[in-house]
Structure 1
Amino acid sequence: MICYEYILQFEKEVTYVWARQWSVMTYLYLAVRYFGISLAIICACWGGLFYMPEAVSRGIFLFMQWGISFYSCLTKVILIWRLYALYNQSKPVLYVLLGLFLPVVALYITVDILLWSRSSAISMQVIVITPNIKYCTAFFHTGPMLAIYTSIPIICYDILLVVLAIVVLRKHLKDRKGLKLKPNTFVVVIIRYHVVYFVLNLAIQIIMTVLWANLSTVAINLMFVFYDTAPYIIVPRLIISIWETHAKDNCVHVSTTFEDCVCWTSPPILEQHEMDPCVV
């Protein structure tokens, strides 16, 4: 699924990434795209029905768990970067978001150490289906409360990010209504994608908690299908779609101080009266 998605988006990636000047968002896109593909392939191999030695299986499992946490942090950095642009490159907003983001990173690291990395918390065991089919799987020796408690601050931080985005949208709609102008397409699109990010991150946190329940094998496998594919498809696709939307618009001026993240979309006649920033 991930490879098929990459093939579908490859032409757009060449057009909007490789054939244009690189920016901070370009590096973030490449990180989530190619690290996501690598992580998805490793997850698929580890979950496949072929044998891995216990030591190898444990190492791959730990890389997966730490990698998923790192990927989640990357998605939050993208949201912070876009909010920084939406708030007219406000340094206080950026510093507050980064200051609150550091404890979130610390929580991810704490969970990865206490819940996944300790030998007493997890063990790898061989599951034998037939004499010729066997594979390693993980067995947990700790309860779900650590994962549940640590997910609460992370969800609260996600709520803060989406609330700040909605506040920008309300102000933007109010200002445009006063000027009797239509809302800026890019502002609306970006806020919409912030909401999608929030729903995705919330779903992942819920799945991480629900996986501790005594669910059927079918239900667990369906959750893992979503957990191991959706983030690596949705996150880079949303970045590409914003660039594609911008490419179809007539852009008067591109800011050099904020690379390609700010675009002035007003007509030349109104440029002195209505400078309308949009995050690309």
Structure 2
Amino acid sequence: MSKLTQSNLGYVFAVAAFVGVTYDCALTFGQEVELVWRQRWSLMTVLYLGVRYLGILYAALTILLAAPTISLSDTVSWIVYVVQNSTGVFVFAMLFVIIITRLHAMYQGSRKILIFLVATFLAINIFDAVVLIMTTINTSGEEFILSGTYQCQINYPDDISLLNSTTWILGTVWEVLALCLAGWIAVKHFRELRRYSAEGIIGDCFSVLIKTHMVYFASFVAVSGFNLIVDLSPSLLTSQNFLEAQALMGSLQILTVVQAFVLGPRLILGVREYHAKLMADSDAASGMTSIAFQERVHVSTSSSV
């Protein structure tokens, strides 16, 4: 059996992750009100709010599992773990939808690209859902007391670790595919813009898209790498490597929260902020509406972003 144990050190990392996501939420709340709450609601609005505030729930549940002074029964520990795990899977599905929307807009609403992306999305997420169900069925929670503190331990069979690793591998393949598609269309547009000396609004918009996508991609690769190390090297989580295991798990907690719940919402917020500045700074904004992130907006050029 592979075992994932939380300790006082793990609790410190869990609190750090929670503070990080709530601090970012407070830091961007003014932008959120202006660019999300006060705008016409759309699918991107729902996805932004879902990812943002489910992140706070995810981080809070992590603290609950790691808290050394809170006594949870075995059943409650298992329920909290399942809810936390399900929240993570659901949020990653929403992030996939955000990226699909961005790519669909960058490819000027291409139906072929949309069908390809949706089919890939469904295949990966159906597999993730099956793994989640199997993990839920085959895991168990256990509470024990160590040095006067309550510890929550989640037990699961070794083959579940292999399935979890597969989900992260598929997720990484998806992210690489999305990055390649975004890079290809961006290079193509930049070449066209240079040819016609038309750099400006659309070029800047592509720059914003690529910049936010690259940062998000790098963070996903880091999280995926850490998860693969944990799933494929269960010996790291043994008592013989206690400090290393806790440092690894704590780093994974923080990276996961930052990648999904801090950088994820910025995939939308960054584009909306760019569009708002463009509308405020230039008469050219009269010909602008936002790519798929602002209701009914398209760049009025030969290329839609």
TM-score (norm 2): 0.80
2:89 maps to amino acid: S
Equivalent residue number for residue 287 of structure 2 = 253
Q: 1:113 to 1:62 in 2, by over 3 A?
A: same
1:139 matched to 2:155: yes
Q: Which runs of 4+ in 1 moved over 6 A?
A: none
Q: Check whether the contact 2:104–2:114 (CA below 8 A) recurs between aligned residues.
A: yes
Aligned partners of 1:257 and 1:16: how far apart in 2?
14
Q: Check whether the contact 1:254–1:260 (CA below 8 A) recurs between aligned residues.
A: no
1:167 matched to 2:184: yes
Equivalent residue number for residue 8 of structure 1 = 27
Q: Deviations over 1:61-93 (max 9, x none)?
A: 011111111111111100000111111111221
Q: Deviations over 1:166-222 (max 9, x none)?
A: 111111111011012325111111122222232232222222221132332222222
Q: How far is the alpha carbon of 1:48 from its aligned partner?
A: 1.7
For structure 1, list consecutive stretches of 5 or more residues without a partner in the other structure.
Answer: 266-273
Secondary structure of 1:125 counterpart:
strand
Equivalent residue number for residue 206 of structure 1 = 225
- The structure whose RCO (Cα within 8 Å, separation 6+) is larger is 2
Aligned partners of 2:94 and 2:166: how far apart in 1?
22
Equivalent residue number for residue 268 of structure 1 = none
2:175 maps to amino acid: D
Equivalent residue number for residue 191 of structure 1 = 210
Aligned partners of 1:6 and 1:256: how far apart in 2?
23
Q: Deviations over 1:117-136 (max 9, x none)?
A: 12xx32222231233x2132
Match of 2:145 among 120, 125, 128: 128
1:180 matched to 2:197: yes
Equivalent residue number for residue 113 of structure 2 = 93
1:17 matched to 2:36: yes
For structure 2, list consecutive stretches of 5 or more residues without a partner in the other structure.
Answer: 1-19, 237-243
Q: Check whether the contact 2:107–2:113 (CA below 8 A) recurs between aligned residues.
A: yes
Secondary structure of 1:252 counterpart:
helix
Q: 1:7 to 1:39 in 2, by over 3 A?
A: same
Secondary structure of 2:155 counterpart:
strand
Aligned partners of 1:232 and 1:51: how far apart in 2?
28
Q: 1:85 to 1:30 in 2, by over 3 A?
A: same
Identity of counterpart residues, as a percentage? Answer: 24
Aligned partners of 2:64 and 2:54: how far apart in 1?
15
Equivalent residue number for residue 57 of structure 2 = 38
Aligned partners of 2:253 and 2:277: how far apart in 1?
37
Answer with 182-191 or 69-78: which moved more: 182-191
Instruction: Count how many residue pairs are aligned between Structure 1 and Structure 2.
Output: 266
Equivalent residue number for residue 69 of structure 1 = 89
Q: 1:157 to 1:257 in 2, by over 3 A?
A: closer
